[in-house]
Amino acid sequence: MLKEIRYVDWKSFKRSTLYIDPLTILIGTNASGKSNALDGLVFLKGLSQGKDLQSALMGESTILLDSKINAVRGGVEWAARKPGTVFSLETLISINENFDYEYKIKVRTEPHVELMSESLVLVEYKKRSEKRTELFSATVEQDDSPSVLVTLYNGQKGRPKKRNFRRNVSILSQMRNQELKDEVIKGIETVISTQENVFILDPVPALMRDYTSLSNILASNAHNIAGVIAAYPDSEQRELEKQLSGYVTRLPEGDIRRVWAESVGRFKNDAMLYCEEKWSTGSEELIMDAKGMSDGTLRFLGILTALLTRPQNTLIVIEEIDNGLHPSRAQLLLKMLKEIGMERKIDILMTTHNPALMDALGPEMVPFVITAHRSSETGESKLTLLEDIENLPKLLAVGPIGKIVTSGRLEEVLSKDKEGN
């Protein structure tokens, strides 16, 4: 699983680290750097999908999919921290308690988007030390060269091999499916699959209300939620609908009895989402399709469907997770994230401005809360673990997390920390 992403001169960050746990909550004011941190994951996902460096930054237009999800906000122009033109991203991917992979990529954005360096290291932890094995490293021999020289691991006793690769595409994706040592192949495939399995979710209710084709993969904007549910075999579909209904029945003021999807049309290639409501004892049941469902209900179902259908070891990233959801349902949302994430071995990274959701976190979640903030001296963004704030006990004595955030006390304490993290 992805455990860390480190930003060096990336957008508004000079140098900072985002730690990822089974449930990570990223908070901060507007323009503090939360979206910039998530954009780093968007870029790395694009590279792992085989996109060239420029396309991974700029994104690609797709029918029905929200293109901003597939692009780094600001594109090439704002990828590197101003006034610089070079940025680095580093990830730490944990295999088990004994082994990690450390991946680094350095990119220049002007005059062309091109690779400056890239490396992959296998880190083995022993009792009192660690062993680092460089699986590959890429360096630019001449600044204007169209290629980079890559040194490849060739076994414990073998001499390293050297090859030339293009500078407009990550070495990681160029080496995929090539004849290499098993250790190198395993490292490349692990890093690619981990970064490719980052799922950036931004449900768009307006797009979820229409008929959709049957599909095996939920779209980033969840427009095809009905098609995903209806595409399951009968027994699996009934179980999925039962799980969806179990959570969503606790969502509204009324009473949603169940949620389901049905194939429609002569060829049964399209589907629609439905729900059944009953507001009081003795009242008639009301069946409505997605066109009549509220934005909050559809967004909640989009998040829930992603949690229940994405493969294990996925990192689901949800910006403004509580958007459209009533504050009184914050506890339910948090309970759902914890339960399903743990059961299905899915990590969740979310951002929020909602004081009700922050209050619902409780003291036990403090180690998993990260706050994004800007330096009052340099303007650079920083990421600080809440538990690393020296005056945290005094802050929490005033009230829960939501209260200290809305009162401005947290921002005040962070602005006085001139050293940052």
Cβ neighbours of residue 78 under 8 Å, at least 6 residues apart?
Answer: 11
Question: Which residues are registered as beta bridge partners of 120?
Answer: 103, 136
Q: What is the pLDDT of residues 85-139, one digit of tens each?
A: 999 999 999 999 899 999 999 999 999 999 999 999 999 998 889 999 999 999 9
Instruction: Output the pTM of the full model.
Output: 0.91
- Distance, CA of 405 to CA of 208 (rounded, Å): 33
Q: Which domains does the chain have, with CATH numbers?
A: 2-197+311-416 (3.40.50), 205-298 (no CATH)
CB 195 within 8 Å of CB 91: yes
347 DSSP assignment: E
Mean pLDDT of successive 10-residue stretches along the chain, which has 421 residues:
97 97 95 95 94 90 45 93 97 94 97 96 92 95 90 87 95 91 95 95 94 94 96 96 91 78 91 87 80 91 96 93 83 91 96 92 92 91 94 87 90 69 44
- Distance, CA of 8 to CA of 1 (rounded, Å): 21
- For residue 163, count CB atoms less than 10 angstroms from its CB and return exposed for 0-12, middle for 13-18, buried for 19 or more: middle
- Distance, CA of 360 to CA of 8 (rounded, Å): 33
157 DSSP assignment: S
In sign, the C-alpha dihedral spanning 243, 305, 316, 331 is negative
Beta strands in 237-327 (DSSP E): 256-264, 270-277, 286-289, 315-318
Q: What is the pLDDT of residues 289-305, one digit of tens each?
A: 999 998 988 999 999 99
